[in-house]
Amino acid sequence: MTTLTRLAAVLAATLWLAPVQAQTTDHLGLPGPITLAGDSFALAWSSRAADNYIKQEYLPAGETRTTTAAWSRSRPSPAASG
């Protein structure tokens, strides 16, 4: 892969992900970050699929949806291990 191809791939990924990150909305109005058992979690992603259906994903500091997704894929599901 040439340097120009790599640069184009990085630029395309950055431009593709930037709008997603900018659109994270706190639909529930929770003050953040949220602290549970001494660990702090920040709103990373949200979706309002319907008026009565909201999803909000909170991640620990330093983690992104990309790192969490990769971690999830590398671990067996509870159903598969049980």
Q: In this structure, is residue 13 part of a structural domain?
A: no
Range of the domain at 39: 25-81
Task: Label each residue of the chain as H, E or C.
Answer: CCHHHHHHHHHHHHHHHHHHHHCCCCCCCCCCCEEECCEEEEEEEEEEEECCEEEEEEEECCCCHHHHHHHHHHCCCHHHHC
Q: In this structure, is residue 39 part of a structural domain?
A: yes
Indicate whether 2 pLDDT > 60: yes
How many domains are there within the chain?
A: 1
**Could you report the per-residue pLDDT of 26-82, keeping only the tens digit for each?**
888 888 788 999 999 988 888 888 989 999 998 987 787 775 555 555 555 555 555
- What pLDDT score does 49 carry? 87
- What pLDDT score does 52 carry? 92
Q: pTM, whole model, 2 decimals?
A: 0.51
**Residue, of 1 and 18, whose pLDDT is higher:** 1
Q: In this structure, is residue 48 part of a structural domain?
A: yes
Q: In this structure, is residue 75 part of a structural domain?
A: yes
